[in-house]
Amino acid sequence: MNYQSTLIASLYEIGVIQFGEFTLKSGKTSSIYINLRKIISYPTLLISVANIMMQKMEGYQFDIVCGVPYTALPIATCMSIDYKIPMIMRRKEKKDYGTKQLIEGVFNNGQSCLVVEDVVTSGMSIMETTADLEQAGIVVTDVIALIDREQGGKENLEKKYRFHAILTLSTILHTLLHSPLLSQHEKEKIDQTLNLMKP
Amino acid sequence: MNYQSTLIASLYEIGVIQFGEFTLKSGKTSSIYINLRKIISYPTLLISVANIMMQKMEGYQFDIVCGVPYTALPIATCMSIDYKIPMIMRRKEKKDYGTKQLIEGVFNNGQSCLVVEDVVTSGMSIMETTADLEQAGIVVTDVIALIDREQGGKENLEKKYRFHAILTLSTILHTLLHSPLLSQHEKEKIDQTLNLMKP
């Protein structure tokens, strides 16, 4: 088993990947739901994920990391403390009290930043984050996601940034399709989804 | 220098403790502002803070940790991964899509929880978090904060929980008053604040 298969099995086993009927943020329904938040309850897996993502970035230079709110924040925190790279955070809304700042943390104009996301769909949440970072004078060079749902995010992001993903939805589905962990019913859901994903 | 003095000096040096005129969340003005968010850009200090907080909890039992949104989240994440204790998170608002949950992460009914906060003022934000945790069947036993601003939070929290704090505002101010790091002007602000704090 390669590291991707091991990672997919771990994510499936803790219930990050679920089969059923789900309403997505976009209003669309999906028979597969990826809820990466559960990973916060599995510190060892969280550390693995952060390590895998940092290893993927070997050879690339960046001064700071920034997680996209909210699920990627624990992942970015873990990357930051394990590799001693300063982190910044983007607030979703400006505070109206205290020191008013949209980007929290310490940074200098022109510093390069790695943006960290858990699951990329269209790339919209990432774009909201990078827009704020850029307005603050930060240079976003790379975006890394744990999972690319292959719904246009990669294409959108690559217009402006280098985009890296550890897993794609089709890799996950193909791997699970051959896994002894899944029921026949779940495998049918996967087949269904893979058919819908065909161009 | 004891560990408290070292910690206070580090927090001051990175600009977590600022002197000036600030409007607090409550609408009141304060000449001292504590912005712990900056700590995310200092991974080594963040790790130290998490370690100090976990050491303070030595001898206490809890199954899970939960950070109060938002500044305490990186601290709680760091405690969780360093000590391999599962983390949960409270959403500030219920999502209206996907799997609807107020508490994210994995937990069982009756599990005991350590709640982590960065700065306690009245204890209100903590109480909002503990209320949601308790409604989900989690037993909150202990609350730990890095800084207690000594504005009633301890008294409010101790009605229901064991409360632990690493630093109090008066410890910070008294320490800084004798620190070579501060200007005379800043020391005057401290004197002013200490006078206002007298019962």
Predicted ipTM? 0.89
Q: What pLDDT score was predicted for residue A189?
A: 87
Contact B113, B63 (CB under 8 A): yes
Tens of each residue's pLDDT in chain A, 199 residues: 689 999 999 999 999 998 888 887 777 778 888 989 999 999 999 999 999 999 999 999 999 999 998 889 999 999 999 999 999 999 876 555 555 578 999 999 999 999 999 999 999 999 999 999 999 999 999 999 999 999 999 999 999 999 999 999 999 999 999 999 899 989 998 988 888 887 7
**Residue B106 dihedral angles phi and psi, to the nearest 5°:** -115, 130
Give me the numbers of helices (H) and strands (E) for chain A, helices first please: 7, 8
Question: In a 3-state reduction of DSSP, which class is residue B197?
Answer: helix
Nearest to B104 among A37, A44, A89 (CB): A37
Q: What pLDDT score was predicted for residue B94?
A: 53
What rounded mean pLDDT belongs to chain B? 91
**Residue B161 dihedral angles phi and psi, to the nearest 5°:** -135, 165
Mean pLDDT (whole number) for B166-176: 96
Question: What is the residue whose two structure tokens read 């240079």?
Answer: A139
CA atoms within 13 A on the CB side of A187: 10
Q: Do B73 and A73 touch (CB under 8 A)?
A: yes
DSSP string, B129-194: HHHHHHHTT-EEEEEEEEEE--SSHHHHHHTTSEEEEEEEHHHHHHHHHT-TTS-HHHHHHHHHHH
Which is higher by pLDDT, A79 or B91? A79
Please state whether beta strands B87-90 and B103-104 pair in parallel, antiparallel, or not at all (unpaired). antiparallel
Confidence of residue B1 (pLDDT cuts 50, 70, 90): low
Nearest alpha-carbon partner for B14 in B48, B37, B32: B37
Q: pLDDT tens-digit profile of B23-54?
A: 876 777 788 889 899 999 999 999 999 999 99
Confidence of residue B70 (pLDDT cuts 50, 70, 90): confident
Q: Which residues of B touch A85 (CB under 8 A)?
A: 43
Please state whether beta strands A87-90 and A64-67 pair in parallel, antiparallel, or not at all (unpaired). parallel
pTM of the complete model: 0.91
Confidence of residue B193 (pLDDT cuts 50, 70, 90): confident
Confidence of residue B15 (pLDDT cuts 50, 70, 90): very high
Question: Is the CB of residue A99 less than 8 Å away from at least one CB of chain B?
Answer: yes
In this structure, the dihedral spanned by the alpha carbons of residues B23, B25, B28 and B29, taken in order and rounded to 10 degrees, is: -20
Contact A136, A103 (CB under 8 A): yes
Q: Do A43 and B105 touch (CB under 8 A)?
A: no
**CA gap B32, B24 in Å, rounded:** 10
Helix or strand holding residue B90 (H, E):
strand B87-90
Q: What percent of chain B has pLDDT over 90?
A: 75
Helix or strand holding residue A126 (H, E):
helix A124-135
Q: pLDDT tens-digit profile of B94-112?
A: 555 555 578 999 999 999 9
Contact B98, A23 (CB under 8 A): yes
Q: Do A98 and B33 touch (CB under 8 A)?
A: yes
Distance from CA of B153 to the nearest CA of A (A): 19
Is the pLDDT at B167 greater than 90? The verdict is: yes
